[in-house]
Amino acid sequence: MTINDPDMLAELTSLYPAYEKALMENDVATLTRMFWDSEFAMRFGAGENLYGMDEIEAFRKARPAAGLARTVTRLDIVTFGTDFGSVTLEFSRETPAKTVRGRQSQVWVRLPEGWRIVAAHVSLLS
């Protein structure tokens, strides 16, 4: 298995900015499309555990659109072979009270419909 094959790394690296843009703009349709449409998809957030696309999409639709801006302070993308990769990052977000730091991880898999996030985790650091 090849780690970080240049072509595979380029594919996944080109997808992540679209996710970040959709997140900042609260583009629910794009965010939903980037996840695996399956009952087995999961997203663990700062305050929620979501199992399956229905729960993930409902969360996205109900989430307030304000205060989403963040600065990515570290981004690491690793691919394994031609169909599996991970995206991990650290971020900071300015709030009226303080700077909030957090981290995010995503597992991406190339499925017949293209690259999709099959599992994600977001947490805040105190």
Mean pLDDT of the chain: 95
Model pLDDT for residues 22-60, shown as the tens digit of each residue? 999 999 999 999 999 999 999 999 899 999 999 999 999
Helix or strand or coil: residue 96?
coil
Q: Which residues pair with 114 in a beta bridge?
A: 111
Q: pLDDT confidence of 71, banded at 50, 70, 90?
A: very high
CB 93 within 8 A of CB 69: yes
CATH number at residue 58: 3.10.450.50
Identify whether 54 is part of a domain. Answer: yes
4 sits in which H/E element: none
CA 65 to CA 74: how far, in whole Å?
24
CB 85 within 8 A of CB 108: yes
**Domain of residue 67, residue span:** 6-125
CB 108 within 8 A of CB 118: yes
Count how many domains the chain has: 1
